[in-house]
Amino acid sequence: MTVSPTETSPLAVLSDGELQALIDGAAWYAKYHQRTIASEADDRSAASVVRREHFRDLFAGLRKLGVRMRVPDGLESA
């Protein structure tokens, strides 16, 4: 699924509850898949590289939203 940027900030249209639900869902997703991402740290296939890039962006976005969590091994250097 691809989301295209809009003219207004997408965060501006969300209620506090909606934003918190999205943050909680993204944090759960990241925690759930941490072990898988770490286990693929040495996999240099295109699919694994793209997955690590996706997760690096997810962790960076969560960090900007105030969520602090351990970054899986291998993600920093992906």
Nearest to residue 60, comparing CAs of 26, 32, 28, 35? 26
Q: What is the pLDDT of residue 16?
A: 93
Chain center to CA of 66: 13
The whole-number average pLDDT for the span 6-33 is: 88
Q: What is the pTM of this model?
A: 0.74
- How confident is the model over 19-36, as a mean pLDDT? 93
Q: What is the pLDDT of residue 78?
A: 42
Cα 55 from chain centre: 5
The domain limits of the chain are 15-64
Distance of CA 70 to the CA centre of its chain: 12
